[in-house]
Amino acid sequence: MMPGSQWELPPELCCRPMAFVALTGLDMVYNAVHRAIWDAFCANRRADRVPISFKVLPGDHEYPKCRTKRTSYEWYIPKGILKTGWMNKHLNLVPALVVLFYELDWDDPQWKEKQSECATKVEIVRTSLQGRNTKVAVVLIQKKTPLPPGEDLVASERAATLCNACDLSGKSLFVLPHTDHLVGYIIRLENAFYEHAQTYYYTEIRRVKSHKEFLNKTTHQLLFVRHQFKIAFFSELKQDTQNALKYYRTAYSLVYELRAYETNMLEIKTMAGFINYKICRLCFQHNTPLDAIAQFRKHIDLCKKKIGSSDLAFEHAAWMSKQFHSFGELFDEAIKLGLTAIQTQNPGFYYQQAASYSQDRKQLAQQLCQAGKNYPACEPVDTQTGGLDFYGQRPWRQGHQSIEPPDAEKEKTGIYALQIKERDVPQSELIIALLSNAVAQFKKYKCPRMKSHLMVQMGEEYYHAKDYTKALKLLDYVMCDYRTERWWGLLTAILTMALRCAYLMGSVKDYIIYCMELLGRASKLTDEQKLRIEKNLMKVLMNGMPDPEPECDLSSEGVARSLWNDRMVSAGAKSLTIEVQDYIPFIQCKAKFQSPSFHIDQPIQLQVFLRADCPHSISFNKLAVILSNQEYNQWCVVEWVGQETMSLLPGKPKCHNFSFVAKTDDVGKKIEMTGIELMLGSDTGRSVFLSWRGAGGDVASTHEALQASRSSRQWGCGMEERQEIDWDSVTMQHSTMVISRVAKMSVKLSHQPPALNNEMYCINITVQSYEEVVAKDVKLTAGLKPGQDANLGQTTHVALNGSKVCDDTAPALLPDVPIGDLKPGDKLERCVYVKCVSTGSRVFLFHVAYSIDATVEGSQIVCKCHKDETVAIETVDPFEVSVKFVSTKFEPLDRVVGNIPFLLMTDVLSMSPWPLLLASSSLHLLTMKTNTPQLHSQMQEVVLQTDECASECFCLRCPLLANSNNTVATGQYLISWRRKSSSANSPFIQTAVILPHVILEPVPLYIHAELPSSGRVRESLSVRYHIENRTSVVQEVEMAVEPSDAFMFSGLKQVRLRILPGSEQQMLYNYYPLMAGYQTLPQLNISLPRCLTTNTQSLRRFLPQRIFVKPQGLELDDALIAAA
């Protein structure tokens, strides 16, 4: 009766109560229609359908008999609080509604016979429910879809007749057409069934409430609790959870008003646990988790001291464990349904507390349940019926509510039987399961320390369950965290248990690891304990058997000895490699290269420091440093040469020095320590290789180095000046760089910055050797430094020949230009020419490499040396060219007219800080033509200083184009130049400036005038106007001359004429100036009636607007002019 499962809550308590409806008259085996109806009721029920539990029963099914109703409670003494079968009876045995399915159509020809048969079946159901308030309903399965209510008079009449025959109300008769919409009809039926079930449970609640007036609080205290529980349970079946919660709370209060004594303590706690479970479940369901937590805490406070019989104290611990476990499951289920938990309030704490009480149960069972006793001959914990009548009662005294047990001897025997059965309970399995649940929750809510703490407890339980493999796995996992966080006391305790597991498993490697750690500096063991462990470790290293660990299970020691005997003869266990980087072993190791870098002509030196933390000195046979280049490993090994030199004294650091010569191929490469190996034991016994990754160190080394750097220790004296090595001051250096020999050579650069765009910029390089021997195979690499913008590489060109301008195929970097050999003190010069075709800053590299013979520790090597110089040079434009188009009157033009001359003016502004020599300039025209017989450069051998400007003017004419394109390309303006300071044989740089396009404007009429450059007052001035028709049609021209105050004129004042296509007309006027100075000529108004888009202003722009008129005076002879 008392196994571990006895404390499980009954399933009828944990499930969700739903109304029970029994369906009869369905033949699901041979009738497909009935099977389809049943599937519609049960298959794929969604959450929105009413909560009903359906069960198909035969029509003559025997339901539980109803006992005779009690009319008085005056002499009634209750035997218990709640019967064990009551909840199951109302969930699965006694239906709230019995539904009879019967196939009958309204127009059935055998209506009378089938009506009688249906009434008979209803009567059979009623007879089997004799005394119950269960409702009965009839569902007629019909083939045809019924007409709307009121339209089928036959159906209404026969329905009334059937109700009378079956003694049913009209609300208890239903019609189910078997059509395509079967599921829809089923859902409507369900809703009707649910209403009937609600009525039934409401009646049951009233029936139970009616008993209250017959009860008294003296002898009927148990009935008060029972009735409140039943009302609450019926309310749950009715889905009235708010009232159910109210009645459960009342029942809970009444439970603790009961008089409690040792014989009924278990029953009170059992019912209190049931009711508490219901209250907490409903609180979570109502989304009030704080109420659930408060109720559970109240429940625990009330119950934790109600232990009951001291001989069965383990039962109380088991019951308490189950309370926490059940609440944790409720909490977890609520979280899965959407409740939000936090780090300080999650199910893990309840699982943890459940495990804690299970551990208490285990300890109490070990104290109370003595081994060696036999089970009683009689069976005191079994009942004749196979189960208890009331929850929480003892099998040997069911129904007794007396303070003292009725039979003291039977009570003693029963307690004794329970104690013996408790010995068979798998306590460790129960504890591990609870701890596992707690660990999962703390992992989910990111509580790493709680998780580690519980994993240690799991490991202990696995140890007690003799599952040493799982115990060691869990403990090893947790020790990683405790090492990192430096919980040395906890780590020591866990290591001690892990050592016992390793011994009992016969695991040689694990045993050695934990021995080394327990002997190390992190161990908190006493010296005596360390001496014992060191003695065992030495035995294992000599391939012997260690002594058993204290507190080991005596029953397992024999198995452990046989395992160790097997290990002693096993060849695979005689050579072990242990990665100690993740532990804190009793031998510490630190290694470092003596410098972060070594020149190739220097020997590479490294040091390995060792320190032992064990009570006695420890000897080792071999020390080896493993480097990234395997060829150097042979120089970094020390082997047994004598016991004194190969042993470590406790707490005394020891240093081993190694050196080797690097290979010339490793220049520019990094040499790293990939590992360090220390061999303990011997080849004749057991050899154990301790392996460190990198330059050594362990889990605690990083923190210890940080603490050492923060200390106030004086660092003035070097390590070599101290008599003893200061272990904390030793730093690890796991890598070094092999660099080339220091070059004894100078590289000097001379140049005149900034560089000018497109010029061959000269950089003079002077190389001088200071070596003591000949520098061989000297090579120069010059040009753009790699690693800059990729566009710079395409716009920079380097050459050694500066007599001609290099093209775009020249590289940006000239590699390995041979120079030859340089004797000591020799000097040579080279010129490198750089052409930059874009502005901006560039970094140039000048790398001089050579080789030289050297001797390192008696070995002849060829050292490759190099000397680098870099220089940043800014590139700027040498000058700025501006271009503009003007008319022959020097008026700005935004468009030109075909075959009419205009002027191209160029301005060259020097932007160079150095004087520029402009050799010549020229025009490379595309469409334009010159208006002069031959173009001559006006900038020949011109020297421009900074910010000086040189200008040129060209007279051009644009021919008429046949196509309609009005944008015309002009061409290029070419300038040949170089620095004034350049040598005579330096090439001229030709810079091409692309001239802007011009817009060609077509005009129908071109007018220009012939007149002298100046006139004189009161002297006749002849002006001839040429009018040219440039269209393909005859143009009518109307001309008129406006009068002017400054001139009188003779000629046609107003005229109309026709001009043939391509021909020209001339008009002659004589102007007579009246005033001196710049005078405005009489304006000529021209209009073209056939070309309305052309106005007078656009035609008149080609004519001169003013002329200078000289005053009238005396004629000067040549003598006066010469004198002036």
* Contact call for residues 1046 and 1062 (beta carbons, < 8 A): no
Q: Higher-confidence residue: 475 or 5?
A: 475
Side chain identity, residue 533: I
- Adjacent-strand bridge partners of 892: 886
* Per-residue model confidence (pLDDT) at position 721: 46
Helix (H, G, I), strand (E, B) or coil at 181: coil
pLDDT tens, 276-316? Answer: 999 999 999 999 999 999 999 999 999 988 888 888 899 99
Give residue-wise pLDDT tens across range 385-408.
447 888 888 887 776 676 777 777
Instruction: Give the residue from 706, 517, 499, 682 showing the smallest Cα distance to 613.
Output: 517
- Give percent of the chain with pLDDT exceeding 70: 93
Rounded distance between C-alpha atoms, residue 391 and residue 324, angstroms: 20
The radius of gyration computed from the CA coordinates of the chain, to the nearest angstrom, equals 57
For residue 510, the model assigns a pLDDT of 93
pLDDT in tens, 727-748: 888 889 999 999 888 888 899 9
The pair of three-digit structure tokens given for residue 295, joined into one six-digit string:
């109720």
Averaged over 144-154, what is the pLDDT? 72
Instruction: Using CA atoms of 433, 435, 440, 446 in order, give the dihedral in degrees to the nearest 10.
Output: 180
Amino acid 844: pLDDT: 93
**Residues across the chain:** 1124
**Which whole-number Å values give the CA distances from 171 to 123, 137, 158, 177, 473, in the listed order?**
18, 8, 15, 17, 68
For residue 385, what is the DSSP state?
A: S
Task: Say if residue 862's pLDDT is above 90.
Answer: no
The interaxial angle of helices 347-368 and 448-464, nearest 10 deg, is 30
Nearest to 773 by CA among 828, 825, 829, 848: 825
- Contact present, 731 and 596 (Cβ < 8 Å): no
Q: Find, among 374, 373, 417, 375, the residue nearest to 395 by Cα.
A: 417
837, 765 contact by CB (below 8 A): no
Give the tokens for residue 267: 């029953």
CA distance 514 to 479: 11
Rounded to whole angstroms, the Cα distance separating 1081 from 1098 reads 17
List, in order, residues 6 or more apart from 972 with CB less than 8 Å away: 923, 924, 992, 993, 994, 995
pLDDT in tens, 800-837: 888 888 888 889 899 999 988 888 888 888 999 999 99
pLDDT, one tens digit per residue, over 440-467 is 999 999 999 999 999 999 999 999 989 9
Selected residue with higher pLDDT from 45 and 753: 753
Cα 50 to Cα 41, 182, 238, 1000: the distances in Å are 11, 17, 11, 91
Please check whether residue 423 is in contact with residue 4, taking contact to mean a CB–CB distance below 8 angstroms.
Answer: no
Q: What is the pLDDT of residues 339-362, one digit of tens each?
A: 998 888 999 999 999 999 999 999
Q: How distant, in Å, are the alpha carbons of 368, 461, 477 from that of 436?
A: 27, 11, 14
Centre a 10 Å sphere on the Cβ of residue 708 and count the other Cβ atoms it contains: 15
Q: What are phi and psi of 961, to 5 degrees?
A: -100, 145
Q: What is each CA distance from 857 to 152, 637, 671, 860, in whole angstroms?
A: 122, 19, 20, 9
Average pLDDT over residues 105-132: 89
**pLDDT higher than 90, residue 606:** yes
* 3-state class (DSSP) for residue 431: helix
Closest CA to 696 of 727, 721, 739, 669: 727
CA torsion sign, 142 to 144 to 147 to 148?
A: positive
Q: How many other CB atoms are there within 10 angstroms of residue 587's CB atom? A: 21
What pLDDT does residue 373 have?
57
| Per-residue model confidence (pLDDT) at position 780 | 92
Q: Rounded mean pLDDT of the chain?
A: 86
Q: Which of 152, 196, 209 is nearest to 170 (CA)?
A: 196
* Cβ(197)–Cβ(96) below 8 Å: yes
Amino acid (1-letter code) at residue 343: Q
Q: How far apart are CA 1088 and CA 61, in angstroms?
A: 123
pLDDT digits (tens, 9 = 90+) for 408-438: 788 788 888 888 888 888 888 999 999 999 9
The helix/strand/coil state of 831 is: strand
How does DSSP classify residue 684? S
Closest CA to 627 of 487, 723, 736: 736
DSSP letter, residue 744:
-
Q: Which of 292, 302, 287 is nearest to 326 (CA)?
A: 292
Contact present, 519 and 613 (Cβ < 8 Å)? yes
Which of 139-153, 656-670, 840-854, 985-999 comes out lowest in average pLDDT? 139-153
Q: What is the 3-state secondary structure (H, E, C) of 520-540?
A: CCCCCCCHHHHHHHHHHHHHH
Beta-carbon count within 10 A of 143 CB: 11
Mean pLDDT of 1039-1059: 87
Bond preceding residue 913 cis, omega within 30 of 0? no
Residue 565 pLDDT class (50, 70, 90 cuts): confident
**β-sheet bridge partners, residue 325:** none
Measured in whole angstroms, the distance separating CA 25 from the mean position of its chain's CA atoms is 62
pLDDT at position 343 is 86
Half-sphere exposure of 336 toward its Cβ, with a 13 Å CA cutoff?
8
Q: Tens of pLDDT along 840-857? A: 999 999 999 998 888 787
* pLDDT the model gives residue 518: 93
Residue 1058 has pLDDT above 90, yes or no: no
The confidence band for 936, taking pLDDT boundaries of 50, 70 and 90, is: confident
Distance CA 987, CA 90 (A): 115
pLDDT of residue 793: 87
State residue 388's pLDDT score: 81
pLDDT recorded at residue 718: 45
Average pLDDT over residues 954-974: 81
DSSP of 1033-1096, one letter per residue?
S-EEEEEEE---SSEEEES-SEEEEEE-TT-EEEEEEEEEE-S-EEEEPPPEEEE-TT-TT--H
User: Which percentage of the chain shows pLDDT scores above 90?
Assistant: 38
pLDDT confidence of residue 1: 34
The per-residue pLDDT for 467 is 92
1032 Cβ contact list (under 8 Å, min separation 6)? 1061
Q: The pTM is what?
A: 0.68
Q: Mind giving me the DSSP string for 775-822? A: EEEEEEEEEEPTTS-HHHHHSEEEES--SS---TTS-SEEEEEEEEEE
Q: Please state, in angstroms and as integers, the Cα–Cα distance from residue 684 to each residue in 542, 575, 698, 1025, following that order.
A: 8, 10, 29, 129
Catalogue the E-assigned strands of 495-621.
Answer: 575-579, 587-593, 597-599, 604-612, 618-619
Q: Which long-range contacts (CB under 8 A, 24 or more apart) does 1056-1061 make?
A: 1058/1034, 1059/1005, 1059/1027, 1059/1028, 1059/1029, 1059/1034, 1059/1035, 1060/1029, 1060/1034, 1061/1029, 1061/1031, 1061/1032, 1061/1033, 1061/1034
Exposed / middle / buried, residue 159 (Cβ in 10 Å: 0-12, 13-18, 19+): middle
Write out the two tokens for 129. 């429910």
* Residue 1091 pLDDT class (50, 70, 90 cuts): confident
C-alpha distances (whole Å) from 1011 to each of 120, 284, 1024, 1025 are: 142, 113, 7, 9
**pLDDT at 252 (0 to 100):** 94
- Cβ atoms of residues 491 and 483 within 8 Å: yes
Instruction: Check residue 90 and report its DSSP letter.
Output: I
